[in-house]
Amino acid sequence: MTAPRVPFCRTEITPGAQQAAVRVLASGWVTTGAESFAFEQEFGAWVQAPYTVAVSSCTAAIEMALTALGLPPGAPVLTPTLTFCGAVQAIVHAGLRPVLVDTDEATLTVSAEGVAKAARNGAAAMVIQHMAGYPVDSVELAAAAGIPEGNVVEDAAHGLGATVGGQPVGSICRAGCFSFYATKNLPIGEGGAITTTDGGLAERWRRMRLHGMSGDSWRRYHRSGTWRYTVEDAGMKANLTDLQAAIGREQLHRLRTWQRRRTAIAARYDAQLGSVRGLGLPPRPAADMHAWHLYIVRIHRRAFGMDRDMVSERLAEAGIGTSVHFIPVHQLPYFRNLLGWDACSELPAADQIFPQLLSLPLYPGLSDSDVDRVCEALAGLAARTA
Ligand SMILES: *Cc1c(COP(=O)(O)O)cnc(C)c1O
């Protein structure tokens, strides 16, 4: 076998971004400063958001968004169970109580019925997640759960580039939380942002990300700055550095092209995998744009003739990397202990769907021939056992 490996992911940092990083390192100012503010402007413009606050991670963004709601300690917050564990840790960090919502069979997100059921004993807020890039409608879900729209926090870690009702995810919400982690659609390595329509909230988050210190306190080491500041609110250490921001600004130039490439790869997978027996394709939104962060297929063990774990192993042997998104959080020991047996035993759809999930390679640098190789390998596994 001489075919090159097809890794599950490969982080692309453009030559321009690499040069920008070196420029910042040589500039004498490497932490939050002018580059970070420019990145906020430019990222906000891309998403069409009125205000953007750059932060250290999406996890921090979710915690900050929830903290700003000022809910009483332990207030219940709905979250999908089929999500990244860090997003649920953020609810706990904010002093609130996660209430898990079962998975919608068709979209792998949550349904209106699902959130209504989870909210039956009351819910103060809700975190929604555009799983794999499939857009979910926060207004519809808030209404179904009986939660004020302002108490919806969007975990948009997968949602960058998607639209809801024709509007970009993050453009019209109170809190849209983005990630620039190495595998995400706009990779910086690490980093995050919160977008909002509320300017007052944006100011609050600017203080919160840096210990609660009064506005522009980063300038205190700058020529134009003063050492004076005040602290009137609780805060955390969650600022983005100029080194990261400079990389992000350059990466942003490529994002439109990258999104088109992701969409083309998804279409190429669809075309070749549609006829493979026992393999379910990812859902497509009726009218809106999918962000195509992940391409998740479902392996139906009986019809395919092999279970997901075996498929993943066989693909690895063929030099093809895959992953699984996600282990439902109620199957993880920490959350089982925290939330209790009862809360973790009422999520049958997630339990049934999880063993089927397989994420295939999807990133702009993946070539058509790489995609074809993945498809041929999958079709070969299915055929061999048919
Ligand atoms: C990656 C991811 C996060 C966390 O993002 P960080 O920037 O690493 O904190 C949160 N939610 C989902 C759904 C993710 O995929």
Q: What are the contacts of 303-306 at 24+ separation with CB within 8 A?
A: 303/277, 303/278, 304/276, 304/277, 304/278, 304/279, 304/381, 304/382, 304/385, 305/278, 305/382, 305/384, 305/385, 305/386, 306/381, 306/382, 306/385
Among candidates 215, 217, 211, which has minimal Cα distance to 233?
211
108 to each of 114, 188, 205, how far by Cα in Å? 12, 27, 31
pLDDT-flagged residues of the chain (< 70): 1-2, 215-218, 220-224, 384-386
Q: What is the pLDDT of residue 226?
A: 79
Residue nearest to atom 15 of ligand 1 (CA): 157
Task: Tell me how far the alpha carbon of residue 193 is from its chain's centroid.
Answer: 11
Q: What is the pLDDT of residue 4?
A: 80
Residue nearest to atom 1 of ligand 1 (CA): 157
In ligand 1, the atom with minimum distance to the C-alpha of 183 is: 1
Among candidates 188, 195, 292, 293, which has minimal Cα distance to 250?
188
Q: What is the pLDDT of residue 2?
A: 60
CA of 343 to the centre of ligand 1 (A): 23
Pocket test for ligand 1, best of 129, 181, 323 (most atoms within 8 A of CB): 181
CA of 61 to the centre of ligand 1 (A): 10
Residue nearest to atom 5 of ligand 1 (CA): 58
Q: What is the pLDDT of residue 124?
A: 98
Instruction: Please provide the DSSP assignment of 338-384 as one string.
Output: HH-HHHHSS-HHHHHHGGGEEEEP--TT--HHHHHHHHHHHHHHHHH
Domains of the chain by start residue, with CATH: 15-254 (3.40.640.10), 256-384 (3.90.1150.10)
Q: Which residues have C-beta atoms less than 6 Å from ligand 1?
A: 57-59, 83-84, 86-87, 129, 155, 157-158, 179, 181, 192
- Do 170 and 176 contact (CB within 8 A), yes or no? yes
CA of 224 to the centre of ligand 1 (A): 36
Residue nearest to atom 10 of ligand 1 (CA): 87
CA of 109 to the centre of ligand 1 (A): 15
Spatial distance between the Cα atoms of 141 and 126, rounded to a whole number of angstroms:
9
Pocket test for ligand 1, best of 89, 155, 325, 326 (most atoms within 8 A of CB): 155
CA of 184 to the centre of ligand 1 (A): 8
pTM value?
0.97
- The residues that are catalytic are 184
In ligand 1, the atom with minimum distance to the C-alpha of 184 is: 1
